[in-house]
Amino acid sequence: MRGFAVLALGLLIAGCGSSSDKSDAQAPVPDDSAYTFGTPSPGGTGKFYMGRQIPEINGPPDAAWLDRTSREAEEHTEKVAANLDLKPDDVIADIGAGTGFFTFRINPLVPDGTVYAEDIDPDMIKVIDRRKANRGADNVTTILGTITDPKLPRSSVDLVLLVETYHAFTYPKEMMEAIKTSMKPGARLVVIEHRKSSPPSNPLEAIPKAQLVAEMEAAGFTLIADKDVLPVQNFLVFQKPGND
């Protein structure tokens, strides 16, 4: 079955067009004054933010892996949407949406709202657009972002969702500044990342909870909830100040 899923999703992406048009994702970036550099360890870039080495990301995630049938049993993904405490008219930003795995689990919960499905890979955006059309998911809007800016409308978002996305940011400081600008005062930020004790294949992709909290606080967010509902990931909820 996995071989069939890989083939089917490969054909789906192939039918969406070439991946050569990635100019937006390769937009000019700011200087590296917020970062330090050293000798990279295995799986690392040698670029550090607040003492954390940013992992090496070898291309976009595999679509078949994102949609694998075992993902629910491994990660209890149904508990993510169930614990977001959404209102029907909320505006949600699914950053690094990939194939829309969470986008299409969230959009039925906000029938009077909007789900922005953002990714820096044009091929993933095309996959989401095709699935949106097939499902009639009119409250889903795709956005092609860059490595420093998700290109979300300013002061528009009630909740930002980052599922296994934050660790892959090449420019975490700039991305979080841009994300914060897109959020309404008092909006929530949900960050889900593997625990250090349960790392993925590249251990640098797992961020300790204390490090995550420190980096989000440095970006101006306050931790308001630590939901211990997932077997291998932290589920942290932050809030943007209400007077920003």
Q: What is the pTM of this model?
A: 0.85
Lowest mean pLDDT among 46-55, 109-118, 235-244: 235-244
Looking at 139-208, list the stretches that DSSP marks H as alpha helix, in order from N- to C-terminal side. 172-182
CATH H superfamily, domain 2-22+32-239? Vaccinia Virus protein VP39 (3.40.50.150)
Quick: pLDDT tens for 179-192: 999 999 999 999 99
CA dist 80 → 145, 146, 192, 229, 238 (Å): 23, 25, 9, 8, 15
User: CA-CA distance, 105 to 96, in Å (whole number)?
Assistant: 15
Q: State yes or no: pLDDT of 222 exceeds 90.
A: yes
Q: List, for residues 31-68, the tens digit of each pLDDT value.
A: 688 999 999 999 999 999 999 999 998 666 667 667 67
Exposure of 134 in the CB half-sphere (CA atoms within 13 A): 9
Cα–Cα distances in angstroms (integers) from residue 62 to residues 6, 47, 65, 98, 180, in the given order: 9, 24, 5, 9, 28
**Residue count (the chain):** 244
For residue 87 the two structure tokens come to: 């209102």
- Round the average pLDDT of the chain to a whole number and report it: 87
Residues 135-188: tens digit of each pLDDT: 999 999 999 999 999 999 999 999 999 999 999 999 999 999 999 999 999 999
- For residue 233, give the 3-state DSSP assignment: strand
